[in-house]
């Protein structure tokens, strides 16, 4: 797979929120329509709740972990543990790269000093998706 990191920024520049920019860029690789993922991730932008919670770019990445790994077995799910591990790996890598997973901290809303821009969060989340979910294959 060729890197799609730049594609995430193109989507964000078109008005996609951070979650949409990440999740929509890779959804076709998992068999999902971009329009559906766009709708699913709309509420994850701006750190859920107006920058109060988890970064949207990271939320989009975690959504992709579920889409990639879940067996979809509603009556007897067996893949949650593995999906949680993929998500935990991505959250930890994101925190290490970006300094936080919380939008208001990343944007400096609580401190007055931004530590990571939206574009940087999106690109870092995309790099993590490519590495963790798609093996960094190019």
> Per the domain annotation, does 138 fall within a domain?
no
> Per the domain annotation, does 112 fall within a domain?
yes
Q: Do residues 46 and 60 touch, judged by C-beta distance below 8 A?
A: no
> Per the domain annotation, does 105 fall within a domain?
yes
pTM over 0.75: yes
> Per the domain annotation, does 137 fall within a domain?
no
Q: Quote the pLDDT of residue 50.
A: 76
Our count of domains for the chain comes to 1
Q: Do residues 101 and 58 touch, judged by C-beta distance below 8 A?
A: yes
> Per the domain annotation, does 70 fall within a domain?
yes
Q: Do residues 81 and 24 touch, judged by C-beta distance below 8 A?
A: no
Q: Which of 16, 80, 82 is nearest to 27 (CA)?
A: 16
Q: Hey, which residues does 54 pair with through a beta bridge?
A: 102
User: Alpha-carbon distance 29 to 96, whole Å?
Assistant: 26
Reading the chain (138 residues) residue by residue, the pLDDT tens digits are 899 999 999 999 999 999 999 999 999 999 999 999 999 999 998 888 777 899 999 999 999 999 999 999 999 999 999 999 999 999 999 999 999 999 999 999 888 999 999 999 999 999 999 999 999 643
> Which range marks the domain in which residue 102 is found?
5-132
């Amino acid at each position: 797979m060729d890197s799609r990191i730049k594609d995430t920024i193109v989507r964000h520049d078109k008005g996609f929120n951070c979650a949409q920019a990440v999740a929509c860029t890779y959804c076709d690789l998992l068999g999902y329509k971009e329009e559906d993922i766009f709708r699913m991730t709309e509420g994850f932008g701006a750190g859920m709740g107006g920058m109060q919670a988890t970064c949207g770019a990271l939320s989009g990445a975690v959504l992709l972990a579920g889409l990639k790994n879940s067996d979809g077995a509603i009556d007897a799910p067996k893949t949650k543990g593995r999906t949680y591990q993929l998500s935990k790996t991505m959250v930890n890598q994101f925190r290490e790269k970006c300094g936080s997973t919380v939008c208001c901290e990343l944007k400096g809303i609580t401190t007055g000093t931004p530590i990571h821009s939206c574009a940087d969060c999106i690109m870092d989340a995309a790099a993590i998706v490519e590495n963790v979910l798609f093996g960094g294959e190019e």
